[in-house]
Structure 1
Amino acid sequence: MKINGATRVFYCIADPIEQVRAPELFNHLFDAYDVDAVMVPLRVTPDQLAPTLHALLASPTVGGISLSIPHKTMAVGLVSQCTHQARIAHAINAIRRGPAGIEGELFDGLGFVRSLRRLAFDVAGRSVLLIGAGGAASALASALAEQRAARIGLFDPDTSKAVQLAETIAQSFPDCRVDSVPSNDPAGYDLVVNASPLGLRAGDPLPVPVERLGAQAFVYDILMKGQPTPLVTAARARGLRASPGFDMLVQQASLYLEFFGFPTLAAAAERHTADLRALLETPAPVRPATLAIPSTCSVRGAHRPK
């Protein structure tokens, strides 16, 4: 990858930042398809989010921003407009400049649903325990309700956040039973999802007591760091199906690229999701020496938004 004065710069913003995998994925695609762009990880504390976004987006060199923990909810109030789905979840994970100002989008929910479909898990009529009530959890709860989950139980140590999220989702999806639940007991749930930070730090407790998982339960941990995560490892050790969160990122890749103005590269990402999963299965920063997405044509110059 060569960086020059014409290189379009994208940022992935989080706090902490060490766990993010988006720069690895997108830089691999930029490099494989000869796109003059780069994504840079940037640690930004919550109190500095607003001035940082303002400064970065003032530069025409910056093509857009990917947001991760804990900024997805706070950033909604910093954009000029966002989609209906983002308003329901009150969260965004992508930002760009648009004709009417700064635009925000939310891809977590759709990426999650796409991943469940690939894994042949149908949400309709199922019960879901969702651990966490932040921006990612909001996106997932909204998507699960839209996909006609029968019941969603929300657990967060901050009960007020879980209650508020449950009320918000229930208002938008009255046919789905959404409750704040008093414990993280997964017994009786068909799908158990960790959308909390538990697992980012060594010594964190498991998000749920795995011995209470049902024999047919499906476990999904959206964390990117330390694959497989302790929760996925523990669930698999009990013979249960468990999926790592990087598949959700892979399923969002084409959505991000389309949003950032790379339609040709977005189509390529759709064709090579298996290769992208293989890339992220390897702990960062190590990459498989033989992994290479075929590049039959260059898409240089096809990256500028309309």
Structure 2
Amino acid sequence: MIADPIDQVRTPEIFNKVLPLCGVDAVMVPLHVSPENLVDTVRALFRSPTTRGIVLSIPHKAAAAALSDRCSKGAATANAVNAIRKNAAGELEGELFDGLGFVKSMERYSMEYRGKRVLLIGAGGAACAIATALAAADVSRIAIFDPETEKAEQLASSVGRQYGVHTSIQSDNDPTGFDLVINASPLGLKLSDPLPVPPERLDADAQVCDILMKNQPTPLLQAAMSRGNAVLPGFDMLILQTPLFFEFFGVPGAAEMLRRDDSIVREMLFPAELMDMVRRTA
């Protein structure tokens, strides 16, 4: 598991909980790797025959796509991957599972996304994955806000071209008029961060999602909950894509175990304030 920073990453906890229960002699090791060292680190790790695969998080997903010899359509559209494996020919294959995990998490809580107007905050790797998955799942439009306007423009152009969904950049972070508001930016990793959107501008029936793995429920979700908006933290997005990771890395038994019952990792990740979400879908 490679990220920078690494302390917010929860994937190793899940892998290292599930693999021993399936009799798999393997561990996931978290590595703090800076962007300038990513290529050397990935290539060095895959020189070992005991490296089954690598999962990537902030800020490496776009660079990992460039490093991969082959990518799926979704990963190529998003220009991001969050998993890499080496095939029999020695090629690095990249895949992107964040968006699929996000859509599955909305379905788990019966949160409707088809035909909805989406405001996406952020244009990094996770945001790219979510935009691609939602575009493929028939949302009505996607607006993207990121201070790095060029990144937002590239994402909007790529998604609109590949999926035919009206996708545009948003000049500000005003959530008014959107049915689904998603924070896929790093805002909230630090408690001193400003809120990704002004919660007082949320529509009364807007659904609010925050995919951060740290400080949940985030200040954004707390503000939304206080207003009565339906909210979704990022934990199930991670949990529901983990079987996809396991299958991609050739560990189908672990994938099947989690698909049958993932309560063991949900109880590990969810804070007390959000455990009612788990109980409602148990």
State TM-score, norm by structure 2.
0.94
**Structure 1 residue 34 corresponds to structure 2 residue 23:** yes
Q: Which residue matches 1:260?
A: 249
Q: Which residue matches 2:215?
A: 226
- Of the three residues 76, 81, 85, the one matched with 2:74 is 85
CA-based RMSD of the aligned residues comes to 1.1
Larger displacement relative to structure 2 (116-125 or 53-62): 116-125
Q: Which residue matches 2:266?
A: 277
Deviation sequence 1:245-304 (CA, Å, 0-9, x none): 011001101000011111111100111123322111149xxxxxxxxxxxxxxxxxxxxx
State TM-score, norm by structure 1.
0.86
Larger displacement relative to structure 2 (273-282 or 194-203): 273-282
Deviation sequence 1:1-25 (CA, Å, 0-9, x none): xxxxxxxxxxx10001000000011
SS at 1:153 equivalent: strand
Q: Which residue matches 2:121?
A: 131
Cα distance in 2, alignment partners of residues 151 and 82 from structure 1: 25
Would you say the 8 A contact 2:22–2:253 is kept in 1? no
**Structure 1 residue 108 corresponds to structure 2 residue 98:** yes
Give the counterpart letter for 1:86 in structure 2.
Answer: A
Cα distance in 2, alignment partners of residues 177 and 212 from structure 1: 23
Q: Which residue matches 2:134?
A: 144
**Structure 1 residue 217 corresponds to structure 2 residue 206:** yes
- Of the three residues 90, 108, 111, the one matched with 1:121 is 111
Cα distance in 1, alignment partners of residues 70 and 88 from structure 2: 11
Q: Which residue matches 1:185?
A: 174
Q: Which residue matches 1:207?
A: 196
Q: Which residue matches 1:153?
A: 143
Which structure carries more strand by proportion?
1
SS at 1:38 equivalent: coil
Cα distance in 2, alignment partners of residues 88 and 190 from structure 1: 24
Query: 5 Å matches for 1:25-64?
Result: 25-64=14-53
Q: Which residue matches 1:23?
A: 12
Q: Which residue matches 1:243?
A: 232
Give the counterpart letter for 2:155 in structure 1.
Answer: L
Q: Which residue matches 2:2?
A: 13
Give the counterpart letter for 2:203 in structure 1.
Answer: G
Give the counterpart letter for 2:99 in structure 1.
Answer: G
User: Sequence identity of aligned pairs in percent?
Assistant: 54
Q: Which runs of 5+ in 2 are unaligned?
A: 273-282
Would you say the 8 A contact 2:64–2:80 is kept in 1? yes
Give the counterpart letter for 1:141 in structure 2.
Answer: A
Aligned length: 271
Q: Which residue matches 1:298?
A: none
Cα distance in 1, alignment partners of residues 133 and 52 from structure 2: 27
Which structure carries more helix by proportion?
2
Cα distance in 1, alignment partners of residues 214 and 223 from structure 2: 16
Cα distance in 2, alignment partners of residues 198 and 31 from structure 1: 34
Cα distance in 2, alignment partners of residues 145 and 67 from structure 1: 23
Deviation sequence 1:101-127 (CA, Å, 0-9, x none): 111111011111111111112221110
Deviation sequence 1:194-246 (CA, Å, 0-9, x none): 00000111200110001111110101101101221221111111111111101
- Of the three residues 160, 163, 170, the one matched with 1:170 is 160
Cα distance in 2, alignment partners of residues 181 and 86 from structure 1: 23
- Of the three residues 197, 201, 208, the one matched with 2:186 is 197
Query: 5 Å matches for 1:285-304?
Result: none
What's the offset of the Cα at 1:32?
2.4
What's the offset of the Cα at 1:51?
0.4
Q: Which residue matches 1:66?
A: 55
- Structure of larger gyration radius: 1
